[in-house]
Structure 1
Amino acid sequence: MKKSAKFITTAILTATMLIPAMGVSANGDSVEKANGNEKFRVLVDSANQKELKNAKSQYGVHWDFENEGFTTNMNEKQFEALQKNKNITVEKVPEYSIDETSAEPLAQYSTMAASQSTPWGIKAIYNNSNLTQTSGGAGINIAVLDTGVNVNHADLANNVEQCKDFTLTSSITNGTCTDRQGHGTHVAGSALANGNGGLYGVAPQSDLWAYKVLGDDGSGSSDDIATAIRHVADQASALNTKVVINMSLGSPTESSLITSAVDYAYNKGVLVIAAAGNSGPSQGSIGFPGALKNAVAVAALENVIQNGTHRVADFSSRGYSFYDGDYSIGKYDVEISAPGAAVYSAWYTGGYATLSGTSMASPHAAGLAAKVWAANPSATNVQVRADLQNRAKSYDILSGYGAGYGDDYASGFGFSRVQ
């Protein structure tokens, strides 16, 4: 599975969530659009340093990516005017959003359900139907780039090492990563919930780096995400520590800033795990950043056994069948599979909720990566990735549209498990 082709998918987020969460009335928003004053994020670059300096002075800098240019906010009139400058390149920055099959949780619970201390996905990835608690991940950091995390949640509080917001200003805001949407808290719970409130994730001894890169509506600019990815890599180097990034977010549009940031992090020893997307079962439907070669794209499995294995969910995005069987990872490839349908986990209210999506599959894989890395602390990110692939080969997925023997475009190498 090696090359790319035309990508087909849609970002999954309902408009009913977008408007109230942004605190902007539909009428006010439409007036701004009509007047051409609605601002959006753009990437500005130029080989002419004088022109670049003037542009920075005129429009202000949100994030400076140095040799890749800088991002700023401007309206349509300003954008069109800047496009006429032959010494400047300017492009709109893609928006990314949470990656779940529905904008609302399937169910919410204020207290822990005793029967769910180890949800079905945790039992499945441990290959133990009688599992009552989990272990592992000590010394490994899991950076959750999402809508934020409720760092006071009983099942997460003791794991929090960093809490940062990349969405507020043109600088990183330390000590705040408030989740008002729920998605990020849910993702963190599957990866590393410690059981203090009753819920266990895959690697409960891992440390949590909670990075808010998406707004309260579940969407955000790719430059904020790219900045966070680079920050993870720099922190990993500065602190001499091992880090797994989880990105349960996506877009049908590739962002050059995110692509270069993922490459930067991967080359610095960070392992990048990402949701494949929820636009299946069509071929070629994997979203970015999961579609990138240096990111591990995770497909979603259901709690259904068919043909002797778990089943790939129909909603889970697929790669291309003509790359089946090569056990090679390239652009637009599913790499491994993990539980992602009807997943019970932590919620931003301090309670619990059930969600479905490849967003839920990705943190299971990230937690497993942390657990594997903790058991082999001298391993590189490339070696841990190979380990996940080998584990997946041991549990081939034979059920679901496009699934079959060996490396397939629906489940990738298979279901990567603890044992």
Structure 2
Amino acid sequence: MKKSRSVMMSLLLAASLAVPAGASAAPDQQSNNAEKFRVYVEVSGESAQKTKASLQKKYDSRWELGANGFSTDMNEAQFKALQNNKNLKLTKVDEVSVDTLRSNKNVTTAFAAPADQTPWGIEAIYNDANVSATSGGSGINVAVLDTGVFTGHHDLQGTVEQCKDFTQATPLVNGSCNDVDGHGTHVAGSVLADGGSDGSGVYGVAPDADLWAYKVLGDDGSGYSDDIAAAIRHTADQAVATGSNTVINMSLGSSANSPLIEDAVNYAYDKGVLVVAAAGNSGFRVGSIGYPGALENAIAVAALENRFENGTYRVADFSSRGVRKGDGDYLIQEGDVEISAPGAAVFSTWPNGGYNTISGTSMASPHVAGLAAKVWAENPGFSHVQLRTELQNRAKANDILGGRSAAVGDDLASGFGFAKVN
């Protein structure tokens, strides 16, 4: 989500199934050709299922998100035509986008063995300045919900288990997750890049994990909350169906909470999936954590810089800060930052086989998602709740004292601290 992109709040309206008496076919045909927007329709009442089925047929249902709700595209005239039915609630679907401070340093568009195979963030999270390769994550799935992934990258092609697109006119296209933007490929690399078949490429935190590359954002880095919610629910269902431990990484968000995404996050969490998300790049303002990172059932990750202050890594000024009332209590509530990880000037994989160095909490989140996969593989009997507690305890052991609002213990800048491999 590019920082400048605005996000529209949801608008809830009562709706009606009835077309005004006397309406002619010609205006209706003109209406069907008018510009459309995404809408979520919730149906209530004794005949909810019948009404829902009728509406889905008429308005080409996109996603079913709940027993009595679905998303679709309609124009303003169609939207207004549903205003008077007390059994309908219409919500204009939010837009969500990636949140990255792009510097595009050292960008390459074709594979060439990188001089640094274990970038500073990998060295930091492994607590080893001399680490030359990484390991771990076997048997764990990491679903990267993003702009897609260039799955043919030298350092990623051996990790891909699923590749799906949730953004097309026909929802859920299997075998397609093309990344034009680059953001998703970069994120995936930090999670589980494996150096390639010859070991000459870059390494992520958990190279033995399996990648579920889910494209939920368009080529411009923005998308709709219903597509994201559908992908979250799909991830959870896939985790249950395969009987596997699964982590979701969402390096995306907005300043406004989306009920569709919140319900989907809760759905996934209830099914045992660990959800990790970027805290946002609206720092250093207090109470600026973006959604879905701000949700209680998601781990909000703050960004650290590769420099020290007060004897520890420093929280970047751009990294969003948590709520004041959550400061110091080692408890997670809505709006808290939970864990910190490397997020400034991060070197990782890029489309067409190259690499790029960019910054943002979008870059910090995948470090934690990778660590979660690595720790879970080492402790396969952990529930997702136990895994989350383990990550919190590791963060407590590495308190962060550098950066605005950073302090001893749980603070609104770094949360519990910097969770590491060792």
Length-normalised TM-score, structure 1: 0.90
> Deviation of residue 101 (structure 1)?
1.8
Aligned counterpart, 1:327: 330
Deviation of 1:81 after TM superposition, in Å, equals 2.6
Distance 1:189 1:13, change over 3 A: farther
Identical aligned residues as a percent: 61
Contact 2:326-2:332 at 8 Å conserved across structures:
no
Question: Where in structure 1 are there 5+ consecutive unaligned residues?
Answer: 1-9, 16-34
Matches within 5 A, 1:89-238: 89-102=89-102, 105-109=104-108, 110-112=110-112, 114-196=114-196, 197-238=200-241
Q: Distance in 2 between matches of 1:322 and 1:89?
A: 34
Whichever residue aligns with residue 12 of structure 1, its letter is K
Deviations 1:37-70 (A, max 9, x none): 3321110112142433332232120111242511
Q: How far apart are the structure 2 equivalents of 1:343 and 1:125?
A: 13
> Secondary structure of 2:82's match?
helix
Picking from 37, 43, 62, the partner of 1:40 is 37
Q: Quote how far apart the aligned CAs of 1:204 are.
A: 0.6
**Number of residue pairs the alignment of both structures matches:** 390
- Measure, in 1, the Cα distance between the counterparts of 2:85 and 2:77: 13
Is 1:408 the equivalent of 2:411?
yes
Look up the match of 1:12.
Answer: 3
Per-residue deviation, 1:324:
1.1
C-alpha offsets along residues 89-138 of structure 1, whole Å, 9 cap, x if unaligned? 10101111012123x63341244464320000000000111111111111
Whole-angstrom distance in 2 between the partners of 1:86 and 1:322: 39
CA distance in 2, matches of 1:147, 1:66: 25
The one-letter amino acid of 1:86's match is K
- SS, match of residue 325 in structure 2: helix
Question: Could you tell me whether the CA contact under 8 Å between 1:301 and 1:361 is conserved in 2?
Answer: yes
CA distance in 1, matches of 2:419, 2:112: 27
The correspondence for 2:302, drawn from 299, 302, 307, is 299
Q: Distance in 1 between matches of 2:354 and 2:54?
A: 50
Q: Alignment partner for residue 355 of structure 1, among 354, 358, 380?
A: 358
Gaps of 5+ in 2: 7-31
What is the alpha-carbon distance in structure 2 between the residues aligned to residue 72 and residue 229 of structure 1?
A: 18
- Conserved 8 A contact 1:293-1:329: yes
Write the distance in 2 (CA, Å) between the matches of 1:291 and 1:376: 27
Q: Under a length normalisation based on structure 2, what TM-score does the superposition of the two structures give? A: 0.89
How far did residue 386 of structure 1 move? 0.4
**Is 177-186 or 111-120 further displaced after alignment?**
111-120
Cα distance in 1 between the residues matched to 2:120 and 2:294: 27
The CA distance in 2 between the partners of 1:375 and 1:55, in whole Å, is: 48
**Counterparts of 2:62 and 2:397 in 1: how far apart (Å)?**
46
Q: Does 2:414 match 1:393?
A: no
Bigger drift between 253-262 and 326-335 goes to: 253-262
The DSSP-based 3-state class of the residue aligned with 1:67 is coil
2:321 maps to which of 311, 318, 322: 318
Higher deviation after alignment, 76-85 or 388-397 = 76-85
Q: Report Cα offsets for 1:314-333 as digits up to 9, x if no partner.
A: 11011122321100001000
Greater per-residue helix proportion:
1
Comparing 75-84 with 225-234, which one deviates more in the overlay? 75-84
Is 2:271 aligned against 1:268? yes
Contact 1:149 1:212 in 2 (8 A): yes
Please identify, of 179-188 and 320-329, the stretch whose mean Cα deviation from structure 2 is larger. Answer: 320-329
Counterparts of 1:181 and 1:13, CA distance in 2: 16
- 2:35 and 2:314 mapped to 1: Cα distance? 45
Cα pair 1:311 1:397 within 8 Å, conserved: yes
Q: Alpha carbons of 1:46 and 1:126: their partners in 2 closer, same or farther (altered >3 Å)?
A: same
Root mean square deviation of aligned Cα: 1.7
Structure with bigger gyration radius? 2
1:29 paired residue number: none
> Which residues of 2 match residues 51-66 of structure 1 at below 5 A?
51-66=51-66
Question: How far has the Cα of 1:14 moved from its partner?
Answer: 6.0
Q: Equivalent residue for 1:18?
A: none
Q: Deviations over 1:243-263 (max 9, x none)?
A: 110000001121111111111
Alpha-carbon deviation of 1:306? 0.9
Equivalent in the alignment of 1:76: 76
